[in-house]
C-alpha cells in the first residue's frame, strides 16, 4: 500500500529549513516587538511572516481545504484538533530568544491524522540541527539516528524545566518550588534552552534526561513528542497520566524511573486548555 504521508513528511523538512533561513536572516536586524498574553509573551513580524510562509507552502502543496492548520500566530482563541489531517505549527519557538539573539530558536512542524501524531520536524535553525521523526520509523538529527539517555538514577541526571511567560506570583512560586525540590534531590543540574521543541530534542538525543513544563501550547510540543517517543523516550502528563496534546502540560523523559521521581516533586497548577475543554484528571500510568 502506498505510504500516503511520506511525501508530506519529506516536504515538512524542506519547509522547516526554508523557514529557518528566514529566521537566521532576521535575527540580527532591528525588530518591532509586540506582546500577547503578558508583557513578557513576545511576538514579532517574523513569527507571523514565517507562519504564513509555512502554511502557504503547505496549502500550495496539499490544497487549501484538504488539511487543517493550527498555528501559534493564527490561533486567536481555543483551537480544536479534529480527525482531519492537521498541521500543528510553531513558526518561531523561542521568540524571546529570537528577540534577544539568544542562540536557540526552532521551527516546529507536526502532522496529526485522526488526532494521532504521525510525524514531527524541529529545525533548531541557529544550530543548523534538523530533528525529525515519524511513527515507527525512528528519530534523527541531521539524518543521524538519535536515542535517549540510558541514565535511570535521577541523581546522575540533568533535568530541563522552563518558567514560561506567566508571571502570576502564585504560579511562579509553584514553578520555582518545584525546581528547588528537583535540584535538591539532588540532580546534576537544571537547564532550559527557552524553546520547548529544542528541549524535547535534547531529551531525544540523550543530552538531558527529562523536560517538563506547565503552560506550553500544543504547537510547542507536538513535533517534539514524536521525536522523543521515536528516540525511545516517553511523553506523559505531568501527573503521570497519558499525554494530552491540548492540555498545556507535558513531561518528556528517557525512562519511567526518571519520570516517576520528577512527578513526585511537580506542584501542578491549572492552565486553560488549548481546546478550551475543562481538564479531566486522567489516572496515572505508574
Nearest distance in Å: CB 20, ligand LIP: 14
Residue 93, annotated as binding a ligand? yes
According to DSSP, the residues that pair with 146 across neighbouring strands are: none
Q: Phi and psi (nearest 5°) for 57?
A: -65, -40
Query: Which three cell numbers mark 104?
Result: 536557540
Tell me how far apart the alpha carbons of residues 14 and 4 are, in angstroms, rounded to a whole number: 17
Q: Which of 34, 18, 191 is nearest to 109 (CA)?
A: 18
**Eight-class DSSP state of 29:** S
Nearest distance in Å: CB 199, ligand LIP: 6
Contact with ligand LIP (CB under 6 A) among 9, 15, 50, 94 = 94
CB atoms within 10 A of CB 35: 11
Instruction: Give the x/- contact pattern for ligand LIP in 180-209, rule: CB under 6 A.
Output: ---------------xx-------------
Contact with ligand LIP (CB under 6 A) among 216, 227, 251, 266 = 216
Residue 220, annotated as binding a ligand? yes
Contact with ligand LIP (CB under 6 A) among 57, 75, 135, 165 = 165
252 forms part of the interface with ligand LIP (CB under 6 A): no
Q: Which of residues 35-74 bind ligand LIP (CB under 6 A)?
A: 72
Q: Tell me the window of 87-95, 110-118, 169-177, 264-272 that interacts with ligand LIP (CB under 6 A).
A: 87-95
Tell me how far apart the alpha carbons of residues 22 and 26 are, in angstroms, rounded to a whole number: 6
Tell me how far apart the alpha carbons of residues 237 and 266 are, in angstroms, rounded to a whole number: 11
Q: Which of 205, 150, 144, 215 is nearest to 178 (CA)?
A: 215
Residue 90, annotated as binding a ligand? yes
Query: Given the complex with ligand LIP, which of 157 and 195 has the nearer CB atom?
Result: 195
Residue 72, annotated as binding a ligand? yes
Instruction: Give the x/- contact pattern for ligand LIP in 217-236, rule: CB under 6 A.
Output: ---x----------------
Residue 143 class from Cβ within 10 Å (0-12 exposed, 13-18 middle, 19+ buried)? exposed
Residue 72 class from Cβ within 10 Å (0-12 exposed, 13-18 middle, 19+ buried)? buried
Site residues (CB under 6 A) for ligand LIP? 72, 90, 93-96, 162, 164-165, 195-196, 213, 216, 220
Binding-site positions for Mg(2+) read: 72, 90, 93, 220
Amino acid at each position: 500500500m502506498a505510504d500516503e504521508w511520506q511525501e508530506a513528511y519529506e516536504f515538512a523538512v524542506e519547509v522547516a529549513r526554508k523557514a529557518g533561513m528566514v529566521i537566521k536572516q532576521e535575527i540580527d536586524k532591528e525588530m518591532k516587538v509586540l506582546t500577547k498574553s503578558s508583557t513578557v509573551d513576545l511576538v514579532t513580524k517574523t513569527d507571523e511572516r514565517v507562519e504564513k510562509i509555512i502554511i502557504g507552502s503547505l496549502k500550495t502543496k496539499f490544497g487549501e481545504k484538504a488539511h487543517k492548520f493550527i498555528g501559534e500566530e493564527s490561533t486567536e482563541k481555543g483551537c480544536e484538533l479534529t480527525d482531519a489531517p492537521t498541521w500543528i505549527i510553531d513558526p518561531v519557538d523561542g521568540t524571546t530568544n529570537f528577540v534577544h539573539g539568544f542562540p536557540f530558536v526552532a521551527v516546529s512542524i507536526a502532522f496529526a491524522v485522526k488526532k494521532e501524531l504521525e510525524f514531527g520536524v524541529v529545525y533548531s535553525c541557529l544550530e543548523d540541527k534538523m530533528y525529525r521523526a515519524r511513527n515507527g520509523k525512528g528519530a534523527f538529527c541531521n539524518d543521524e539516528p538519535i536515542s535517549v539517555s540510558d541514565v535511570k538514577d535521577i541523581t546522575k541526571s540533568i533535568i530541563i524545566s522552563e518558567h514560561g511567560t506567566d508571571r502570576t506570583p502564585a504560579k511562579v512560586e509553584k514553578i520555582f518550588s518545584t525546581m528547588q525540590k528537583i535540584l535538591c534531590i539532588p540532580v546534576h543540574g537544571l537547564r532550559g534552552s527557552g524553546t520547548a521543541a529544542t528541549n524535547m530534542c535534547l531529551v531525544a538525543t540523550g543530552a538531558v534526561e527529562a523536560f517538563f513544563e506547565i503552560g506550553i501550547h500544543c504547537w510547542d510540543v507536538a513535533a517534539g513528542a514524536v521525536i522523543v517517543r521515536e528516540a525511545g523516550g516517553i511523553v506523559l502528563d505531568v501527573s503521570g497520566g497519558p499525554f494530552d496534546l491540548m492540555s498545556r502540560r507535558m513531561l518528556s523523559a528517557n525512562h519511567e524511573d526518571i519520570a516517576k521521581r520528577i512527578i513526585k516533586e511537580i506542584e501542578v497548577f491549572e492552565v486553560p486548555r488549548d481546546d478550551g475543554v475543562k481538564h479531566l484528571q486522567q489516572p496515572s500510568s505508574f
